[in-house]
């Protein structure tokens, strides 16, 4: 998923960060580390891999990789970024950072620890025709029902809700009162981060989001805190029109840090009927 269009200043910051990030990661991988034949290294001025070596090992053009490292505006794919990540031996956090710097929303791996108990999955699926989804402690999507897919565009391997909110132009266009919702979301994320002061993932995610979203950075700097389990969402759906939900957030003792979000059509609206029509259309 491509990120939204950034301002000139934000693009410049992201380009500079891409340059320094790839250079530093390239410098720490030696030819021997990359499985290359090691000959006489006396003439090498590069402490790690050269650009052309990264390009060859990743299966991309030297010019293309050079442009990427220079932070130029070029088209990239997840497959190519994964190839570069493998050559540079990036860990999970570094790979995600590379995706964000390249203007793509990173796919989120699904480790075994995030398997959803069958009983909980049945609850999520039985909430139809209303949306329901499960988030882990870092706001990664773990499980979604069919209506949540259709209403919010979520998928179980879709990555992180916070990233989607600030980087997906499609999602942004569907959220009514986006700026108010953005402030509430960032304040909630900061409250969650405060509960886990020893968890570096929150800080890493906040840093990455500040680098790719000027709006997130501005709101994050306000240091607002909000901790609420209920609220209202208004979605402008392209197919069925306005959908208004009251939502409730439930914590799960059997899955510490996870939250189940259940959405109920608001009273005195046509949301329920529109959800039924949306599901019927998707089946047809």
Domain boundaries defined on the chain:
8-101, 112-283
Strand-pair category, 230-237 with 259-265: unpaired
Closest CA to 73 of 163, 164, 12, 9: 12
Class at the top of the CATH hierarchy for domain 8-101: mainly alpha
Question: Residue 249 — left, alpha, or beta (φ > 0 → left; ψ -120 to 50 → alpha)?
Answer: beta
Q: What is the pLDDT of residue 211?
A: 80
Residue 77 sits at the vertex; the CA angle it makes with 47 and 159, to the nearest 5 degrees, is: 100
pTM over cut 0.75? no
Q: What is the pLDDT of residue 253?
A: 87
For the stretch 167-196, pLDDT in tens is 777 888 999 999 999 999 999 999 999 988
- Matching fold, domains 8-101 and 112-283: no
Q: What is the pLDDT of residue 209?
A: 85
Write out residues in the chain with pLDDT < 70, as ranges: 1-7, 35-44, 107-114, 156-159, 284
| Percent of the chain at pLDDT exceeding 90 | 46
CATH of domain 112-283: 3.30.450.180
């Amino acid at each position: 998923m491509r990120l939204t269009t950034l301002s000139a200043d934000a693009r410049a910051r992201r380009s500079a960060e891409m340059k320094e990030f790839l250079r530093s990661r390239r410098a720490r991988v030696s030819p021997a580390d990359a499985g290359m034949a090691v000959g006489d290294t006396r003439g090498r001025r590069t402490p790690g891999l050269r650009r052309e070596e990264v390009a060859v090992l990743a299966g991309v053009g030297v010019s293309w990789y050079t442009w990427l490292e220079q932070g130029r505006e070029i088209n990239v794919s997840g497959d190519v970024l994964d190839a570069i990540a493998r050559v540079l031996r990036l860990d999970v956090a570094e790979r995600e950072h590379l995706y964000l710097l390249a203007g793509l929303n990173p796919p989120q791996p699904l480790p075994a620890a995030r398997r959803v108990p069958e009983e909980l999955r049945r609850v999520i699926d039985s909430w139809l025709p209303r949306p329901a989804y499960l988030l882990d402690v870092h706001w990664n999507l773990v499980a979604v029902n069919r209506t949540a897919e259709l209403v919010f565009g979520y998928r179980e391997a879709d990555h992180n809700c916070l990233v989607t909110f600030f980087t997906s132009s499609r999602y942004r266009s569907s959220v009514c009162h986006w700026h108010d919702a953005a402030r509430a979301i960032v304040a909630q994320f900061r409250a969650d981060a405060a509960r886990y002061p020893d968890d570096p993932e929150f800080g890493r995610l906040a840093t990455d989001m500040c680098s790719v979203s000027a709006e997130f950075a501005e709101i994050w700097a306000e240091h607002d805190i909000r901790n609420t389990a209920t609220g209202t969402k208004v979605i402008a759906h392209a197919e069925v029109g306005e959908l208004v939900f009251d939502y409730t957030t439930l914590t799960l003792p059997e899955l510490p840090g996870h939250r189940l979000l259940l959405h109920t059509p608001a009273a005195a609206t046509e949301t329920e009927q529109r959800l039924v029509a949306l599901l019927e259309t998707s089946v047809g």
